[in-house]
Amino acid sequence: MTKRLFAAIDLPESPRQLLSNLDPRIRGVRWVDAEQMHLTLGFFADVPEEINLAFRAELARDNIYVTTVAPGMMRTGSHVNAKFKGKHDSEFAWFGASVGAPLISMNADRAARKILAACRRGQPSLTLTFAARAAILGNALFPNLTGYMMRVVNRFLPGAGDEGGNQLRAGSQLRRLNPTWLTRLADRATIRNNEERPEVSR
C-alpha cells in the first residue's frame, strides 16, 4: 500500500503569532489559525510502506520524527466540488451523507489539531475518525466478518449508470436527494472553508 507524505517544520510561537496578526480580515478569506501554521518543505506522492518505515528509522537518528496519518473522511465542505460518475445524483447523495455523518467523518479543524499534536509528540501513527479505527481493528481481529460486512454495505451503494454516467459532474451541479439535516455539518464546512456554496433544490 502506498501513502502520501509531506515534510514540514513546526514554527516557534512568535513567528506563528506574527503571521496570525497579518490576517487582512477580508470577507471570504479564511486565515489559518496560529496553532496550525507550519512550513512545508516537500510533498511525496505514492510512497511504498517500506520506504515510509525506512524514513522513520533513518530520520529518528537525527531526532526527526515521521508520523503516519490515516485521516478517514474529513468535513472540509469540498463534497460540492467532488466529481462523480455513474448515477450522479445517487453517488452525490451517498458521499454527501457520509462526509456529514459525525461518526464517519471529522471536522477538518479538529483533525488538523490532532495531526499537529501527534507530530509535535513524535507519535509514529495516528488514525482519525471512529469509523476508520473500527475498520482497522475489525479487519485485524475479524477479517472474514469484516469482509462480509463490506460486501453487505456494497449492495446498498449505487450501481452502474447508463452511458451518460461516464461524464464527470461536480456535486454542485447535481440534484440533491438528501434532506438538508442529513448534510448540515458538511454544508456548514462548505461555507466556513470558502468552498462553492451548494445550490439546494426545492
Q: Residue 68: is its pLDDT beyond 80?
A: yes
Q: What is the mean pLDDT of residues 62-74?
A: 84
* Least confident stretch, 22-31, 118-127, 140-149: 22-31
Residues 80-89 have a mean pLDDT of 88
Average pLDDT over residues 53-79: 84
State residue 1's pLDDT score: 66
- Residue 201, pLDDT above cutoff 70: no
For residue 3, pLDDT beyond 80: no
Q: According to the model, what pLDDT value does residue 144 have?
A: 93
Q: Mark residue 3 as left, alpha or beta (left: phi above 0; alpha: psi -120 to 50; beta: remaining).
A: beta
Q: pLDDT category, 173, cuts 50, 70, 90?
A: confident
Residue 198: what pLDDT? 44
**Model confidence at 202: pLDDT above 60:** no
Task: Identify the burial level of 12 via C-beta atoms within 10 angstroms of its C-beta, where 0-12 means exposed, 13-18 middle and 19 or more buried.
Answer: exposed
pTM over 0.75, yes/no: no
pLDDT of 101-140, one tens digit each? Answer: 888 899 988 998 898 888 888 888 889 889 888 888 998 8
